[in-house]
């Protein structure tokens, strides 16, 4: 009886469940073979992996939507097409990243050894030596930059969100926006000029100056991210606290900040990750050296980005060990940033408001 | 413990907009007073002027007098923080602190003010406040768990416990049941009946049955139109307000003809 009921169809054709995935493998195989033929016929000097993947994705988007149009109708076909395009964009966005990590790891692994992390470059001409002085310099300069930027940035954000009204707050917001756009070399010149004036030494170089330059770059990022996090704290919590007879400053300190802490910590870590790879300002004010220098307030101080730069631009007669050191220093820098991100996530999870399960 | 509140010709503003105009009324101690009226008529605004929470909104200000046992809350030199310690407030949506446990939420008024409290006193205050809010039996085994694991009704009673833990004279409730189911609402209404023994209670509600069930006195507010200030239309014993009000607008409102 039910079957005999007339009316519009409720069924349409459907592709088998994993047909999209299967078709993708097929398309990859096709373009893979094509590029293999190109290699064998001598048109391309080496096998073009990126080309094979990219054209495989394009071919997949075209075939999946065509097949779906024939079997499933136009609405499903549009869905398949857009899904395929989104996946293609994701793949395209991912290719440079994978390629970069792959290149840095393969080139950097050669000198990723004990000596690299326990020696400086003092009296090293040719192979050997390490980057301990640069690692120490990077960590010290960035740590001091964070120690300067976090209080300034966080307090500015608290002022803007909790207290600032009218013209003053608008002016600060505008200046922070302007600061975000300062080129890093200008920050370096600012720090250089500042210490030149303070010390009277026309060729001043010191690690602390690098920290100042980096904090000029870091403060606006910290302000911006903390501001957003503080704005996310529901106003109801502030009112709940005020209604209990808690003064405003204690409300900010004990209700608003703890609630936003996870986001603020994440923002600070991302700001650190952003400035730790700065080269230009450090080249100007921290300078470069081959020797250990633990004191950021005196003499030149090496940092990892500057180390990479000098190893690459000023090699000795035997270029290979210099290039290897540059790659390994790049790898080290990426690992430090990666570690900071992992730490930020762990801290964020640890401090996040406890949610019901 | 409870105090009389007297409003004299009170106007409340948001910037240049006058939200409430010329309210004069007296709220008796140890009683429940309900504010009713259509949305936007200024009941919540008026309630928030009673513990100086109104001025937390940027640009908001008040003209006129609010007397708490004869002392003006808006006199120069009065500290709003000290006012709020005497006039507690419960909000429309339950708002326990998400970073704190149930126990810490109850003790929030003490802990957030950096006051030291002996462990035994803290235990005693927690239990007394939670018993006062009819929540003790439900949460006594999980005082150290996060507060937002509780149900909406329990959270609201936790907020009431938090408010009475600072031992105020007056308790303001801004539509405390509007986000709750009927059973939780009943629990809160029973609680209001008990709290009346010790506190002066002012409650804003959209629910007229609730006003008639819990309150001793009822104040009806209305606006002439959008953008005009809210005014007090009628203020009388709840029984009178719901049976033979003197103003036509009150009768129309309580009988459900508008609003």
- pLDDT at residue B1 in the model: 56
Residue A46 has phi, psi (to 5 degrees) of: -140, 165
In a domain? residue A240? yes
Three-state SS for A86-129 is HHHHHHHHHHHHHHHHHHHHHHHHHHCCHHHHHCCCCCCCCCCC
Angle between helices A132-158 and A304-313 (to 10 degrees): 140
Beta-carbon separation of A243 and B89 below 8 A: yes
What is the distance in angstroms between the CA of the first residue and the CA of the last residue of chain B? 36
Which chain B residue lies closest to A246 (C-alpha atoms)? B113
Give the DSSP per-residue string, A245-313: T--HHHHIIIIIHHHHHHHHHHHHHHHHHHHTT--HHHHHHT---SS----TTSS----HHHHHHHHHH
Of B86, B113, B146, the CB nearest to A250: B113
Of A237, A244, A353, the CB nearest to B84: A244
Alpha-carbon gap, residue A249 to A255, rounded angstroms: 10
Beta-carbon separation of A245 and B162 below 8 A: no
- At A261-298, the pLDDT tens digits run 888 988 998 899 889 989 999 999 988 888 888 888 88
A131 and A101 housed in the same domain:
no
A252 and A153 housed in the same domain:
yes
Q: Is B163 on the interface with A (CB under 8 A)?
A: yes
Q: Which of A41-45, A215-219, A284-288, A302-306 has the lowest mean pLDDT?
A: A41-45
With a threshold of 0.85, tell me whether the complex ipTM lies above it. yes
- pLDDT at residue A241 in the model: 92
Alpha-carbon gap, residue B106 to A194, rounded angstroms: 53
pTM strictly above 0.90: no
Helix (H), strand (E) at residue A162: none
A163 and A237 housed in the same domain:
yes
Of A236, A237, A245, the CB nearest to B84: A245
Of A244, A356, A357, the CB nearest to B109: A244
A230 and A345 housed in the same domain:
yes
Query: In the CATH scheme, what is the homologous superfamily, with its name and number, of domain B5-95+168-254?
Result: P-loop containing nucleotide triphosphate hydrolases (3.40.50.300)
A343 and A268 housed in the same domain:
yes
Q: Structural domain of residue A229, as residue ranges?
A: 118-351
- At A16-71, the pLDDT tens digits run 888 888 888 999 899 989 988 888 888 878 887 878 888 888 898 889 889 888 88
Last residue of a domain, one of A109, A131, A153: A109
| B140-162 core/surface letters (b: 16 or more CB in 10 A; e: else) | eeebeebbbbbeebbbbbbbbbb
Beta-carbon separation of A236 and B91 below 8 A: yes
Instruction: State the pLDDT confidence band at A103, using cuts at 50, 70 and 90.
Output: very high
A132 and A267 housed in the same domain:
yes
For residue A201, give the DSSP letter. -
Cβ contacts from A onto B, under 8 A: 86
Helix (H), strand (E) at residue A330: helix A319-351
A66 and A192 housed in the same domain:
no
Q: Is A168 on the interface with B (CB under 8 A)?
A: no
Beta-carbon separation of A244 and B91 below 8 A: no
Q: Is A246 on the interface with B (CB under 8 A)?
A: yes
Rounded to a whole number of angstroms, the distance from the CA of A270 to the nearest CA of chain B is: 24
- Number of Cα atoms under 13 Å in the Cβ half of residue A229: 26
In sequence order, which residues have a C-beta less than 8 Å from that of residue B196 and are 6 or more positions away? B30, B31, B32, B216
Beta-carbon separation of B149 and A250 below 8 A: no
In a domain? residue A9? no
10 Å Cβ neighbour count for A147?
Answer: 11
In a domain? residue A8? no
The predicted model gives A298-311 an average pLDDT of 90
- Number of Cα atoms under 13 Å in the Cβ half of residue A344: 17
A50 and A185 housed in the same domain:
no
Give the DSSP per-residue string, B59-111: TEEEEEEEEETTEETTSTT--HHHHHHHEEEE-SS----TTSBHHHHHTHHHH
Give the CA diameter of chain A.
Answer: 100
- Closest-CA residue to B32 (of B165, B207, B213, B175): B213
- pLDDT at residue A356 in the model: 46
Of B81, B99, B114, the CB nearest to A245: B81
The predicted model gives A217-244 an average pLDDT of 93
Beta-carbon separation of A245 and B166 below 8 A: yes
- Closest-CA residue to B50 (of B25, B19, B83): B83
Alpha-carbon gap, residue A162 to A249, rounded angstroms: 9
Alpha-carbon gap, residue A167 to B47, rounded angstroms: 31
Angle between helices A257-275 and A132-158 (to 10 degrees): 140
In a domain? residue A2? no
Q: Is A255 on the interface with B (CB under 8 A)?
A: yes
Beta-carbon separation of B84 and A234 below 8 A: no
Query: CA-CA distances (angstroms) from residue B229 to B44, B222, B226?
Result: 13, 9, 8
More confident residue, A186 or A39: A186
Q: Is the separation of the CB atoms in A137 and A124 below 8 Å?
A: no
Rounded to a whole number of angstroms, the distance from the CA of A347 to the nearest CA of chain B is: 15
Q: Which of A25-34, A47-56, A101-110, B62-71 has the lowest mean pLDDT?
A: A47-56
Residue A357 has pLDDT above 60, yes or no: no
10 Å Cβ neighbour count for A184?
Answer: 18
Long-range Cβ pairs for the range A156-164 (8 Å, 24+): A156/A219, A156/A223, A157/A222, A157/A223, A157/A224, A157/A226, A157/A227, A157/A230, A158/A226, A158/A230, A158/A252, A158/A257, A160/A223, A160/A227, A161/A227, A161/A230, A161/A231, A162/A230, A162/A248, A162/A252, A162/A256
Total domains present in chain A: 2
A266 and A139 housed in the same domain:
yes
- Closest-CA residue to A327 (of A339, A340, A309): A309
A258 and A283 housed in the same domain:
yes
Alpha-carbon gap, residue A257 to A236, rounded angstroms: 14
A126 and A249 housed in the same domain:
yes
Arithmetic mean of pLDDT over chain A: 88
A150 and A231 housed in the same domain:
yes
Alpha-carbon gap, residue B179 to A8, rounded angstroms: 43
User: How do the domains of chain B map onto residue ranges?
Assistant: 5-95+168-254
CATH number of the domain encompassing residue A208: 1.10.3720.10
Residue A317 has pLDDT above 70, yes or no: yes
Instruction: State the pLDDT confidence band at A111, using cuts at 50, 70 and 90.
Output: confident
Instruction: State the pLDDT confidence band at A2, using cuts at 50, 70 and 90.
Output: low
In a domain? residue A40? yes
């Amino acid at each position: 009886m039910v079957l005999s009921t007339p009316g519009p169809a409720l069924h349409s054709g459907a592709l088998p469940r994993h047909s999209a995935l299967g078709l993708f493998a097929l398309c990859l195989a096709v373009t893979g073979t094509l590029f293999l033929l190109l290699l064998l016929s001598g048109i391309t000097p080496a096998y073009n992996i990126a080309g094979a993947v990219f054209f495989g994705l394009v071919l997949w988007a075209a075939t999946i939507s065509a097949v779906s149009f024939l079997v499933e109708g136009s609405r499903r076909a549009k869905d398949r097409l857009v899904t395929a395009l989104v996946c293609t964009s994701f793949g395209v966005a991912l290719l440079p990243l994978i390629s970069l990590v792959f290149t840095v790891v393969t080139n950097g692994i050669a000198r990723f050894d004990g000596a690299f992390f326990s020696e400086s470059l003092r009296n090293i001409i040719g192979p050997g030596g390490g980057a301990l002085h640069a690692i120490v310099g990077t960590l010290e300069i960035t740590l001091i930059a964070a120690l300067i930027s976090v209080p300034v940035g966080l307090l500015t954000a608290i002022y803007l969100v909790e207290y600032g009204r009218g013209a003053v707050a608008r002016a600060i917001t505008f200046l922070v926006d302007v600061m975000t756009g300062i080129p890093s070399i200008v920050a370096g010149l600012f720090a250089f000029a500042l210490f030149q004036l303070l010390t009277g030494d026309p060729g001043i170089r010191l690690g602390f100056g690098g920290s100042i330059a980096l904090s000029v770059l870091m403060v606006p990022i910290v302000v911006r991210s903390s501001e957003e996090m503080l704005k996310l704290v529901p106003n109801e919590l502030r009112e709940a606290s005020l209604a209990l007879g808690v003064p405003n400053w204690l409300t900010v300190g004990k209700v608003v900040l703890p609630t936003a802490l996870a986001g603020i910590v994440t923002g600070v870590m991302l700001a650190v990750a952003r400035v730790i790879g700065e080269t230009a300002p450090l080249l100007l004010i921290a300078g470069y050296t081959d020797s250990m220098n633990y004191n950021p307030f005196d003499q030149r101080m090496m940092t990892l980005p500057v180390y990479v730069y000098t190893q690459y631009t000023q090699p000795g007669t035997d270029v290979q060990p210099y290039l290897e050191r540059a790659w390994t220093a790049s790898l080290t820098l990426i690992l430090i940033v990666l570690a900071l991100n992992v730490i930020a996530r762990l801290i964020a999870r640890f401090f996040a408001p406890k949610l019901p399960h | 413990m409870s105090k009389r509140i007297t409003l004299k010709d009170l106007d409340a503003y948001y910037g240049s907009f006058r939200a409430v105009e010329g309210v004069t009324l007296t709220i008796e101690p140890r009683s429940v007073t309900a504010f009713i009226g259509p949305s936007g008529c200024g009941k919540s605004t008026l309630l928030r002027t009673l513990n100086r929470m109104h001025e937390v909104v940027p640009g908001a200000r008040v003209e006129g007098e609010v007397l708490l046992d004869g002392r003006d809350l808006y006199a120069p030199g009065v500290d709003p923080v000290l006012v709020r310690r005497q006039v507690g407030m419960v909000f429309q949506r339950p708002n326990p602190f998400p970073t704190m446990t149930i126990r810490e939420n109850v003790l929030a008024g003490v802990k957030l003010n950096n006051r030291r409290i002996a462990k035994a006193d803290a235990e005693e205050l927690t239990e007394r406040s939670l018993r006062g809010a009819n929540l003790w039996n439900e949460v006594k085994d999980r005082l150290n768990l996060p507060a937002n694991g509780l149900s909406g009704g329990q959270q609201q009673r936790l907020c009431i416990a938090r408010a009475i833990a600072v031992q105020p004279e007056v308790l303001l409730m801004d539509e405390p049941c509007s986000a709750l189911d009927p059973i939780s609402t009943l629990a809160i209404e029973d609680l209001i009946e008990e709290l009346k023994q010790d506190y002066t209670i002012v409650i804003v509600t959209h629910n007229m049955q609730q006003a008639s069930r819990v309150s001793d006195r009822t104040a009806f507010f209305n606006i002439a139109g959008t953008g005009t200030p809210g005014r007090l239309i009628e203020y009388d014993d709840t029984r009178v307000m719901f049976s033979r009000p003197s103003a036509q607008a009150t009768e129309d409102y309580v009988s459900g003809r508008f609003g």
